[in-house]
A and B are shown apart, each in its own frame.
Chain A
Amino acid sequence: MPENIIRRTIGGMLIPLIQLYALYVIAHGEGGPGGGFQGGVILGSSVILYALIYGVEATRKRIKQKFTDLLCSTGVFVYGGIGVLCLLAGGNYLEYDMLPLGTPEHSSHLGILGIEIGVAITVASVMITLFLETARRDEK
């Protein structure tokens, strides 16, 4: 489709930048504005932009439903898992400074980063699933 060329070009330029920005927002969550939720939304929206340009089928070819389903669970598991690691390290649930990763400040830093990543994974994959499921045509 030749009339698509502007969308394709702009999309090709923007999508990597959006994703990079999403990673930036996730990583800076604990020190500044942003965090896992916001970063996850930005990450998910980059895939939604791809779906708007290239269509739902093309997106599903690249990102299989099994994969997004798995990611939805993975994010929750990362979050909860870090909490359980804190329990195993002798602290209360989600008490990151007890994690054995150097100084308490350092473990607290890494712990919250892990949480942000977990949140981002789930939020991004849930956004993608919601969009693709709503846009999907029923086979019947």
Chain B
Amino acid sequence: MMEHLPIVMIVLPLLSAVVTPVAGRIHRVLSWYIVVIVTALCFAGSLSLLSTVLETGRISYWLGGWEPPWGIEYLIDYLNAFVLCLVAFIAFIVAVYAKKSVELEIDEARLPLFYGVYLLFVTGLMGIVITGDIFNLYVFLEIASLAGYALIAIAKRREAAMASFNYLVMGTIGATFVLLGIGHLYMVTGSLNMADLAQRLPALYGSKVVQTAFAFFAVGLSIKIALFPLHNWLPNSYTYAPSAVSAIMAATATKVGAYAFIRVMFTVFHAEFLITGIHLNHLLLFFAALAILMGSILAVAQTDIKKMLAYSSIGQIGYIILGISLMNLTGIQGSLLHIVNHALMKGTLFLAVGGIVYRLGITTIEDFKDLGRKMPVSMAAFTVGAFSMIGVPLTVGFVSKWYLAIAALEAGMWYLIIVLMLSSLLTAVYFWRVIDNMYFQPHDASKVSEGSVVVAESNPKDAPVLMLLPTIVTAVLCVFFGIFASLPLSLAEKASMILLR
């Protein structure tokens, strides 16, 4: 059975997704157990795939026994295996976390449906990562997006429906652009297999059709990853979604989008085409720097913690794109590292905030006064995540920022260092506001803003163990991979080497 592992990784959550709502009708808890077990198995499977890839090189799986480029091929190399482990891990962690959190934030009758859609979302994300067929990538992109819209809209708050609708409109435009890009490529090459496309395309790099195709891909995927001027759907989606959904979306959805972007840029197309053919690197660099600065500036202006984290995500996407657009080995390595590192730290932050929402129902930063004493463990995890975002040494944030800075120097673009420093400073500003409120401001009961559930007097406990444990695990990993960075580093190096060929 081991040789079928690539397809099992997709089919297992897909089939479980349709079983989950039915099992939920028998007993509600059953659907949660299914999700936890399935995501745990997926994580184990992804680790096993990673070790196989490390031993034997890439794995190719032919669906229906059809030989590529005619059939759909699932192709796993260093890059996929790396991102796959991340997605499966976050999916598992958040699944454990979700139980308590969604019981409060979602109608009880909809819980089994929520878990079903959650598994569909995971299926879509893992499918995007695992497939070697570009049309298949589009299909999984749509599965993940549609499930994502539903996951946001399922929240009890009314604003969630509007946020989800905005995301639906923007996401559909993005997906349509990607589809148009695929259509253009198919028109000139007659192939949908990524490896096959990579061989056929160089002869056609002069063609206007191929250049148009790339433009469609670039814009479509930029919407999906919320690159700065196209980011409008993201803040409200993350803010009004249930806590668990914010966590998994912030940690994986845009990261997988970035993975798809990298795949299309470097596997389907070639770095040389992007630099000499269409001069993409400077354009992308401009938008990346803009995203970093604007994301950070907008984050400083927020009063709602979830919205602040969402805007900070937009800035962090800028980092990932910055590394890619430098188009050198260190830059791509830095980007890949940042995909993992940002997933870990943003995951920690959203999970910790979810704990506060669960106990106190507050998201306004002003109301966080004295929380450091009331919820010490959650707040410690939050602080670790925040330090990591700022880029303090010994945390993961430092490692990826270091690599991005070196890459900028290697490319001879010293002015990017200023952008990086400035944004780190802004990050410190907006996170310090939260930390200052948490630890150093005395609590003032008379000033709790309206709309929050006032339980402040009753001295709340820390978040429940099921929510606390995943938060601690991601926080510890933030520090662990910050100190022992060699494992993700070597993987990112191998992955960036195959990307630049």
Contacts and interface: CB of A to CB of B under 8 A. Distances in A.
Interface in A74-101: 74, 76-77, 80-81, 83-84, 86-87, 91-98
B158 interface: no
B319 interface: no
B64 A77 contact: no
B65 A95 contact: yes
B65 A92 contact: yes
B19 A92 contact: no
A133 interface: no
Nearest to A86: B64
A121 B63 CA distance: 23
Contacts of A83: 7, 11
Contact of B21 (A69, A84, A97): A69
Given A73-B19, A73-B22, A93 B4 contact: yes
A73 B21 contact: yes
A93 B18 contact: no
B439 interface: no
A84 B18 contact: no
Interface in A32-81: 69-70, 72-74, 76-77, 80-81
Interface string B1-38: 10010011001001100110110000000000000000
B22 A70 contact: yes
B62 interface: yes
A77 B21 contact: no
A92 B4 contact: yes
A79 B321 CA distance: 38
Contacts, number: 49
A77 B19 CA distance: 8
Contact of B65 (A74, A77, A91): A91
A130 B22 CA distance: 20
Contact of B64 (A73, A74, A76, A92): A92
Interface in B60-83: 61-65
11 contacts: A73-B18, A76-B15, A77-B18, A80-B11, A83-B11, A86-B64, A87-B4, A87-B8, A92-B7, A93-B7, A93-B63
Closest 9 CB pairs of A and B: A73-B18, A95-B65, A93-B7, A94-B64, A92-B65, A80-B15, A76-B18, A95-B64, A77-B18
Contacts of A91: 65
Given A92-B64, A95-B65, A77 B15 contact: yes
Interface of B: 1, 4, 7-8, 11, 14-15, 18-19, 21-22, 61-65
Nearest to A91: B65
Nearest to A73: B18
Contacts of A96: 64
| Interface size, A (range) | 20 to 34
Given A73-B21, A77-B18, A94-B64, 20 more contacts: A70-B22, A74-B18, A77-B15, A80-B11, A83-B11, A84-B11, A87-B4, A87-B7, A92-B62, A92-B63, A92-B64, A93-B4, A93-B7, A93-B11, A93-B61, A93-B63, A95-B64, A96-B64, A97-B65, A98-B65
Contacts of A76: 14-15, 18
B22 A93 contact: no
A80 B63 CA distance: 13
Nearest to B116: A73
Contacts of B21: 69, 73
Contacts of B4: 87, 92-93
A80 B14 contact: yes
A133 B8 CA distance: 34
Given A73-B21, A73-B22, A87-B7, A94 B15 contact: no
A70 B22 CA distance: 7
B19 A94 contact: no
B435 to A, nearest CB: 43
Contacts of A86: 64
B15 A84 contact: yes
Contacts of B19: 73, 77
Nearest to B1: A87
Contacts of A84: 11, 15
Interface in A85-125: 86-87, 91-98
A70 B116 CA distance: 13
Contacts of B18: 72-74, 76-77, 80
B164 to A, nearest CB: 16
A74 B15 CA distance: 10
Contact of A81 (B1, B7, B15): B15
A114 to B, nearest CB: 14
A122 to B, nearest CB: 9
Contacts of A72: 18
A93 to B, nearest CB: 4
Contacts of A87: 1, 4, 7-8
